[in-house]
């Protein structure tokens, strides 16, 4: 069975093992599960699990960090999804060898900049909060993808941004 390790943005870790074939079943933290999944187009699914209905939208997927943002019945969550190979590289301390240098942070979606937590010249660590972006009436904390020095902040609090607009340069 293919195995995946999922880390939810609240810190919860989940081990998922899936069977081969079209059915969505397997083990979730060593407990059996089964899903009834209907594909409703690219990045949109209707899922039924244990009699509960869920509408799932893939908001974004970052292949490099293996992180996705899902909207499940209006609840937005960020998850990191790693396969067994990713876990092996991490356990050997080799996961940093495949990451590339990040020179900028771009807006993941259009929105309004509510707050900026850093300034030009600030030293930031991976995971530090950089700014807050409001999109679709939800506040999204944009975090640093790397340890770096902020070269230039290219937006202002209260301003609006478009998707993929550069927010901060390192």
pTM over 0.85: no
Question: What is the pLDDT confidence band of residue 97, given thresholds at 50, 70 and 90?
Answer: low
Tell me the DSSP string of 93-156: T-GGGG-----EEE-SS-EEEEEE---TT-EE-TT-EEEEEEETTEEEEEE-SSSEE--EE---
Mean pLDDT of 55-75: 89
Q: What per-residue confidence (pLDDT) applies to 20?
A: 60
Average pLDDT over residues 33-51: 89
- pLDDT 10s digits, 13-36: 888 888 765 568 888 888 888 888
Cβ pair 67, 77 in contact under 8 A: no
- What are the tens digits of pLDDT across the range 135-153? 888 888 999 988 899 999 9
| More confident: 23 or 12 | 12
Average pLDDT, the chain: 86
Mean pLDDT in residue range 57-86: 87
Over range 92-114, report the average pLDDT: 77
Instruction: Output the pLDDT for position 134.
Output: 92
Q: Between 55 and 62, where is the model more confident?
A: 55
């Amino acid at each position: 069975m293919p195995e995946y390790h999922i880390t939810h943005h609240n810190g919860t870790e989940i081990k998922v093992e899936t069977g081969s074939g079209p059915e969505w079943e397997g083990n979730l933290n060593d407990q059996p599960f089964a899903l009834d999944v209907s594909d409703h187009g690219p990045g949109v699914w209707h899922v039924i699990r244990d009699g509960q209905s869920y509408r799932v939208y893939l908001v974004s997927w970052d292949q490099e960090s293996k992180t996705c943002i899902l909207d499940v019945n209006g609840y937005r969550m960020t998850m990191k999804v790693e396969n067994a190979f990713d876990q092996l590289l991490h356990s050997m301390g080799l996961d940093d060898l495949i990451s590339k240098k990040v020179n900028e942070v771009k807006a993941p979606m259009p929105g309004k900049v509510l707050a900026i937590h850093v300034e030009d010249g600030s030293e930031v660590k991976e995971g530090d909060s950089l700014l807050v972006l409001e999109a679709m009436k939800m506040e999204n904390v944009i975090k640093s993808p790397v340890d770096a020095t902020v070269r230039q902040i290219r937006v202002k609090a209260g301003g609006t941004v478009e998707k993929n607009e550069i927010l901060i340069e390192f």
